[in-house]
Amino acid sequence: MLLYLVRRVLYAIPIALAVGLVCFMLVQIAPGDPINAIVPADAPQEVVEQVRRDYGLDKPLPIQFGLWISRVVQGDLGRSLATGRPVTADLVSAIGNTLMLALVAAGIGFVMGSILGTIAAVFRGSLLDKAAVGFAAAGVSIPHYWLGMVLVVLFSVTLNWLPAMGAGPGGSGSWAWDWEHVKFLILPAVTLSVIPMGIITRTVRGVVMELLNQDFVTTLRGKGLRRGGIALHVVKNAAPSVLAVMGLQLGYLMGGSILVETVFSWPGTGFLLNSAIFQRDLPVLQGTILVLAIFFVVLNLAVDLIQTALDPRIRRA
């Protein structure tokens, strides 16, 4: 087990490096001189040349990459072109907000999806099953940035129950778990939750349906176990694959909340990305994407390890 753990962690390192390379290349593929990604366009020529030498941008690409990685590892993601502040500083609060939004959305989506999927599988072919499947299909087909707008029209504009945008009084700095703040979280979280709900419904339905057809379920009935006893077996069998999908979904929510955050002006990474794109603030773009992607790599690693721990059939050599 320990050996597997070490091997799996070691395997994640080259992936993380490659992810870094892709992020590094983002600035290279951007039109124009990469130096423009570091200094504002209106900087004097001497400053530009000075920075070019300081950052090693006059050296060959592989060396530049090495220099960049060593700065990143020390937590230096450069400075924002728009504000002049370090990218890391802006990212820290944004990541917290995005993580909060993603976790709440994932919570809603996973619980609802598990319930719907189980109902659909147990009553397969029934009207309930068809409704759940249709709901799941809608959940994965809906452009959620549009769903967000529909919810705003319904609950903010028409009913005036919930606020349409922002993260509450005092901005992102003074979050608290009271109604004054939580009411800002509801619409974006619900909007974001429809996709994991759809995916988890489909996954749970598929997994449970397959499990209920397995011979061992007949054995369990043959032993006289009641529904609750059989359910315990089904849950333990389904857990590894369902948890794996859930882990990926959480990652997708983190990386994919840009559109929903834009709709609701939620002060997270997506909002940061959106303004970076709008202002062509490449250091912020690069840094945000790097951090989110690394988070996803780590999440994948965690999912793998949990899956291995849960499933005795996977060899832990």
Q: Look at residues 30, 16, 257 and name the one whose alpha carbon lies nearest to residue 144.
A: 257
Rounded CA gap, 241 and 310, in Å? 10
Q: Which is nearer to another protein, 182 or 217 (CB)?
A: 217
Q: Which is nearer to another protein, 161 or 216 (CB)?
A: 216
Q: Which is nearer to another protein, 184 or 264 (CB)?
A: 264
Q: Which is nearer to another protein, 175 or 201 (CB)?
A: 201
Q: Which is nearer to another protein, 143 or 173 (CB)?
A: 143
How would DSSP label each residue in 127-170? HHHHHHHHHHHHHHHS-HHHHHHHHIIIIIIIS--S-SSSSSTT
Structure tokens that stand for 180 in this block: 């004054």
Q: How far is the CB of 184 from another protein (least distance, A)?
A: 18
Q: Look at residues 152, 165, 188, 190 and name the one whose alpha carbon lies nearest to residue 260.
A: 188
Q: How far is the CB of 109 from another protein (least distance, A)?
A: 11
Long-range contacts of residues 86-91, Cβ cutoff 8 Å, at least 24 apart = 87/283, 87/284, 87/287, 87/288, 88/287, 90/272, 90/284, 91/269, 91/272, 91/287, 91/288, 91/291
Q: Which is nearer to another protein, 12 or 182 (CB)?
A: 12
C-beta atoms surrounding 311 within 10 Å: 16
> 3-class SS at 58?
coil
Q: How far is the CB of 233 from another protein (least distance, A)?
A: 5
Q: Which is nearer to another protein, 95 or 245 (CB)?
A: 245
Q: How far is the CB of 148 from another protein (least distance, A)?
A: 10
97 Cβ partners below 8 Å, 6+ apart?
167, 172, 175, 266, 267, 268, 269
Structure tokens that stand for 282 in this block: 């490449």
> 3-class SS at 45?
helix
Q: How far is the CB of 46 from another protein (least distance, A)?
A: 28
Q: How far is the CB of 141 from another protein (least distance, A)?
A: 4
47 Cβ partners below 8 Å, 6+ apart?
39
Rounded CA gap, 69 and 73, in Å? 6
Q: How far is the CB of 68 from another protein (least distance, A)?
A: 15
Q: How far is the CB of 256 from another protein (least distance, A)?
A: 4
Maximal CA-CA distance, the chain: 84
